[in-house]
């Protein structure tokens, strides 16, 4: 009786997620849908790229920015955030028109700031008031030549304070094939894109590609308003949602060029902000692990080892789980069979969440390229 009740509760959760959670799993919010018309005039845009030890990819990613076919005024500011590998020198050697690329040597990290946001703030200050939009993009993201045109057209058509693309992550190694589609799936579960894009909905963004209306950012207090945020993209999305519409969608135009070659690399990426997402709360951590057990672990366990009603209810929950994962697997062109492995994948993410907690306790929370930043954000 208890087993059947637990299995029934897990099934009810999956029914709610599929039918009453803004269709998060359908992957319908994409930059290719409902394409807006070109604006009458193309406003000026300045891209700001924070970079720390990115010499291996910076030529490709900055090169993709310099190759944008944007009709309006556009230039790029790269902020070299205390790199030790010659990132700034690689960027300065790139072929660019006069005034098209500005490589700024960043100042030492200011107290109370996370490294990325301190670099972004310096880039925004360097940009000055000479553009309608700021394109905040990461140093490991390469963009198709028409990306900026699409971003600006969508922002102008919807009078958006923020337009953001969930960059398509590198997904070729075994670890990536197993874990990366789930990363975006879980992100969409936390921040359903349709709800983000709806007036009055929640605010969120994906940090790899964010087009920000300058006046909206200034009205919200500028980058300084989120200076200690580790999950800076969603924090900025929530802040700018107060200033106007926000749009977030999936894309093939913007792609991460950074490979995660093994499971350890992906674990580090997840652990960097998992405990931050839980607001550094042990109570929320315990609740999250219990929730993951109910939603992801109960269905396969009872489907394989349960009996009677409990087995059938659990099997139905497992089937719904696998079904919900299919659109994301198709988007990443991965085998549908990974859907059946979602409980194992979720177990890995649960372990990374516990690792995030342990790193925080050890004073190493939010570590990124030598900086432990969670102690700043606490």
Instruction: Let me know whether 167 and 269 are in one domain.
Output: no
Instruction: Let me know whether 209 and 295 are in one domain.
Output: no
Instruction: Let me know whether 141 and 277 are in one domain.
Output: no
| Domain membership of residue 8 as a residue range | 2-24+263-377
CB 27 within 8 A of CB 331: yes
Residue at which a domain ends, from 204, 227, 256:
256
Instruction: Let me know whether 280 and 200 are in one domain.
Output: no
CB 338 within 8 A of CB 325: yes
Give CA 349 to chain center in angstroms: 16
Tokens read off for 233: 């993209």
User: CA 122 to CA 115: how far, in whole Å?
Assistant: 11
Number of domains in the chain: 2
Instruction: Let me know whether 123 and 210 are in one domain.
Output: yes
Residue at which a domain ends, from 218, 240, 256:
256
User: CA 165 to CA 311: how far, in whole Å?
Assistant: 40
CB 135 within 8 A of CB 162: no
3-class DSSP state for residue 259?
coil
CB 248 within 8 A of CB 155: no
Paired residues of 48 in beta bridges: 77, 136
CB 270 within 8 A of CB 349: yes
**Tell me, what's the pLDDT at 378?**
46
Instruction: Let me know whether 180 and 39 are in one domain.
Output: yes
Q: Which pLDDT tens digit goes with each residue over 202-238?
A: 999 999 999 999 999 999 999 999 999 999 999 999 9
Instruction: Let me know whether 51 and 145 are in one domain.
Output: yes
We report the CATH number of the domain holding residue 135 as 3.90.550.10
Among residues 341, 58, 308, 23, the alpha carbon closest in space to that of 174 is found at: 341
Instruction: Let me know whether 238 and 137 are in one domain.
Output: yes
Task: Report residues of the chain scoring pLDDT below 50.
Answer: 377-378
Residues 6+ apart with CB under 8 A from 58: 51, 78, 87, 90, 91, 139
Instruction: Let me know whether 130 and 92 are in one domain.
Output: yes
Instruction: Let me know whether 230 and 271 are in one domain.
Output: no
Instruction: Let me know whether 148 and 50 are in one domain.
Output: yes
Question: How many CA atoms, within 13 angstroms, populate the side-chain half-sphere of residue 267?
Answer: 14
CB 55 within 8 A of CB 93: no
User: Which burial class, exposed, middle or buried, applies to 184 when counting CB atoms under 10 A from its CB (0-12, 13-18, 19+)?
Assistant: buried
Among residues 244, 237, 69, the alpha carbon closest in space to that of 145 is found at: 69
Phi, psi of 2 (to 5 degrees): -65, -45
**Tell me, what's the pLDDT at 98?**
82
CA angle 56, 59, 64 (to 5 degrees): 130
Residue at which a domain ends, from 202, 236, 256:
256
CB 55 within 8 A of CB 87: yes
**Tell me, what's the pLDDT at 233?**
95
Q: Which pLDDT tens digit goes with each residue over 24-38?
A: 999 999 999 988 999
Instruction: Let me know whether 193 and 246 are in one domain.
Output: yes
How far from 342 is each of 262, 339, 352, CA to CA, in Å?
A: 18, 5, 15
């Amino acid at each position: 009786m208890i087993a059947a009740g637990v299995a029934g509760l897990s099934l009810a959760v999956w029914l709610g997620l599929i039918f009453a959670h803004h269709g998060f799993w359908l992957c319908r919010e994409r930059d290719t849908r409902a394409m807006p018309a070109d604006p009458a005039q193309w406003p000026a845009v300045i891209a700001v790229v924070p970079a720390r030890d990115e010499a291996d990819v910076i030529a490709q990613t900055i090169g993709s920015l310099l190759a944008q076919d944007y009709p309006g005024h556009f230039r790029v500011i790269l902020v070299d955030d205390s790199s030790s590998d010659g990132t700034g020198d690689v960027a300065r050697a790139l072929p660019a028109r006069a005034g098209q690329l500005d490589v700024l040597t960043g100042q030492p990290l200011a107290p109370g700031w996370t490294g990325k946001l301190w670099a972004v703030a310096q880039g925004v200050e360097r940009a000055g008031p000479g553009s309608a939009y700021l394109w905040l993009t990461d140093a490991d993201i390469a963009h198709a030549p028409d990306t900026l045109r699409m971003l600006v057209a969508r922002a102008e058509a919807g009078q958006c304070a923020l337009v953001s693309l969930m960059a398509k992550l590198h997904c070729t190694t075994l670890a990536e094939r197993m874990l990366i589609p789930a990363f975006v799936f879980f992100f969409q579960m936390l921040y359903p894109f349709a709800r983000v894009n709806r007036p009055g909905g929640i605010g969120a963004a994906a940090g790899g590609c964010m087009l920000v209306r300058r006046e909206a950012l200034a009205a919200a207090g500028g980058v300084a308003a989120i200076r200690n945020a580790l999950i800076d993209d969603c924090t900025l999305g929530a802040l700018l949602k107060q200033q106007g519409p926000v749009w977030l969608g999936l894309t093939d135009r913007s792609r991460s060029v950074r490979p995660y070659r093994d499971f350890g690399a992906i674990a580090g990426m997840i652990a960097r902000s998992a405990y931050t997402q839980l607001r550094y709360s042990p109570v929320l951590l315990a609740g999250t692990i219990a929730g993951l057990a109910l939603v992801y672990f109960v269905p396969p366990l009872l489907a394989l080892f349960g009996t009677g009603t409990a087995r059938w209810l659990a099997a139905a929950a497992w089937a719904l789980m696998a079904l919900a994962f299919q659109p994301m697997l198709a988007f990443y062109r991965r085998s549908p069979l990974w859907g059946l492995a979602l409980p194992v994948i979720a177990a890995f993410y649960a372990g990374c969440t516990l690792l995030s907690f342990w790193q925080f306790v050890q004073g190493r929370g939010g570590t990124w390229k030598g900086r432990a930043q969670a102690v700043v954000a606490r």
